[in-house]
Amino acid sequence: MDEELVDALPLDDTVGSHDDTSETVQLDPEGDAILIVNGSGCTKSFLVSSRVLSLASPVFSRLFGPNFKEGQETRRGDRPSIRLEEDDPKAMEVILGILHYQCAQVPLRMEPEALATLAIHCDKYDCNVALRPWAAHWCSNFGGRYHEEGTATEDLGFMLLAAYMFRSPRFSEISARAVRELPPGFASAWRAHEELALLPDRLTAALSDKIAEELKNLHQQLQSTERKLRLHKAYYKMPGHNCMSCGRDLPAEAKQCRRCGTTELFKNACTSEYRVAEYFAILKRFELWPSIDPFTTKSLSDIMHHFECAEMDHNHQCGANEGCPLLHELVHMYHLTLEALDDIEGISLEEIGVS
């Protein structure tokens, strides 16, 4: 790319920023055909080169061949107007612009749904090869392990759909991200979108199985932590007192419980039973207990975030300090969860029958 072209490619440009007009866009001033794209509530016309399109797309090659009326008209120099009634004008503008080397308005970043729509059109016109460098760049923005903001369930589907249609080498990486970030019930949300229904059933099933397996492993980790805490029989002193009548924790200087009036107080102690009770109180505070709901409705990354909060935001203090079994197990549980998510492998195109 020369400097002038690079300057014309703003990083934050998107497909949705183009004007919706019915004026003819001259992709080739000497073009021999006009494509009228009428769909998605707007119409755009493009003056194109049948030769350029024929070289890039077998579909256009047949359309402009001698066996079709449009091809015969271009050969006579009649410049036919060809209506594409079911295509998206914005997606086609990007595709046709790239094929005609008119790249100044081609976005470097695209929203997942817009890119999925574009990928569907590329597949329809069999021009994926011609757009391969652009597709590789667009799909590269969908990788990565963790993102600061949650990604909508549908957007993860659109990411996968785009990578699937483009046969992107990043498909496995994107599917691994989907395993981490999709909630268990993602399939019902996908079924509500006509475009997402194009994803293979084998992919949806494979994602569901992986998510269920990983959630089961995390749930088992939560339960095994309880068992390990019960096995730690060490006793440690704790600051403050506890009311024998109502169970309220009181400061060390307290002589009487103000809630119930009793003077029967005993010194707090970090015992096995206390640590287990505190463990479940922490889990409940961070929506990990009762465990049936979070492990059937939340994504793996959401569960990991709750484990992280439980590990960092607790009020437990005892004579063991950081050596307390409760604190040790909370840290250990979080790091095991983090490692499990890091080790998740994606689904390859070959696994869903794409060679």
User: Residue 257 — pLDDT band, cuts 50, 70, 90?
Assistant: confident
| pLDDT tens by residue, 310-336 | 999 888 889 999 999 999 999 999 999
State pTM to two decimals. 0.83
Residue 143 has a pLDDT of: 57
Of 122, 186, 123, 195, the C-alpha closest to 150 is 186
The pLDDT of 256-276, averaged and rounded, is: 84
| pLDDT tens by residue, 21-62 | 467 999 999 999 999 999 878 899 999 999 999 999 999 999
Q: Residue 99 sits in a domain of what CATH number? A: 3.30.710.10
Residues 253 and 277 in one domain: no
Range of the structural domain that residue 285 is part of: 211-235+272-343
Which residues, in sequence order, are CB contacts of 177 under 8 Å at separation 6+? 142, 143, 144, 145, 156, 159, 346
* 286 has pLDDT over 90: yes
Domain limit, last residue, from 53, 84, 106: 106
Q: Is the dihedral of CA 169, 349, 196, 301 positive or negative?
A: negative
Which residues, in sequence order, are CB contacts of 323 under 8 Å at separation 6+? none
Of 189, 156, 150, the C-alpha closest to 174 is 156
Residues 330 and 253 in one domain: no
Report yes or no on 71 lying in a domain: yes
Q: How far apart are CA 34 and CA 26, in angstroms?
A: 9
Report yes or no on 14 lying in a domain: no
Of 86, 176, 156, the C-alpha closest to 116 is 156
| pLDDT tens by residue, 134-177 | 999 999 987 544 444 457 899 999 999 999 999 999 999 999 99
Q: What is the largest CA-CA distance in the chain?
A: 106
| Distances, alpha carbon 258 to alpha carbons 185, 248, 269, in Å | 48, 10, 21
Of 283, 287, 294, the C-alpha closest to 329 is 283
Q: How far apart are CA 116 and CA 288, in angstroms?
A: 35
| pLDDT tens by residue, 195-244 | 999 999 999 999 999 999 999 999 999 999 999 999 999 999 988 777 76
User: Residue 194 — pLDDT band, cuts 50, 70, 90?
Assistant: very high
Domain limit, last residue, from 82, 106, 130: 106
Residues 87 and 185 in one domain: no
User: Residue 8 — pLDDT band, cuts 50, 70, 90?
Assistant: very low
Structural domains in the chain (count): 4
Residues 221 and 307 in one domain: yes
| pLDDT tens by residue, 47-104 | 999 999 999 999 999 999 999 999 999 999 999 999 999 899 999 999 999 999 999 9
Report yes or no on 355 lying in a domain: no
Report yes or no on 17 lying in a domain: no
| Distances, alpha carbon 310 to alpha carbons 22, 105, 221, 224, 350, in Å | 57, 48, 14, 16, 39
Report yes or no on 242 lying in a domain: yes
Report yes or no on 204 lying in a domain: no
Report yes or no on 119 lying in a domain: yes
User: Exposed e or buried b for every residue in 131-161, given b needs 16+ CB within 10 A?
Assistant: beebbeebbeebbeeeeeeebebbbbbbbbb
Report yes or no on 349 lying in a domain: no
Residues 325 and 224 in one domain: yes
Residues 126 and 195 in one domain: yes
The torsion angles phi and psi of 170, rounded to 5 degrees, stand at -85, 5
Structure tokens at 113: 């749904």
* 20 has pLDDT over 60: no
Residues 125 and 88 in one domain: no
- In DSSP terms, 46 is beta-bridged to 25, 35
Residue 150 has a pLDDT of: 53
Residues 255 and 276 in one domain: no
Residues 179 and 166 in one domain: yes
* 289 has pLDDT over 90: yes
Provide the residue type at 68 as one letter: F
Domain limit, last residue, from 248, 270, 292: 270
User: Exposed e or buried b for every residue in 313-329, given b needs 16+ CB within 10 A?
Assistant: ebebebebeeebbbbeb
Residues 62 and 96 in one domain: yes
Residues 231 and 322 in one domain: yes
Residues 42 and 97 in one domain: yes
Long-range contacts of 28-32 (CB under 8 A, 24+ apart): 28/52, 28/100, 31/79, 32/74, 32/77, 32/79
Q: How far apart are CA 187 and CA 176, in angstroms?
A: 16
Structure tokens at 39: 């769909």
> 55 near 127, Cβ under 8 Å?
no
Of 306, 310, 314, 313, the C-alpha closest to 341 is 306
Structure tokens at 346: 């994606």
C-alpha 123 chain-centroid distance: 22
Residue 40 has a pLDDT of: 75
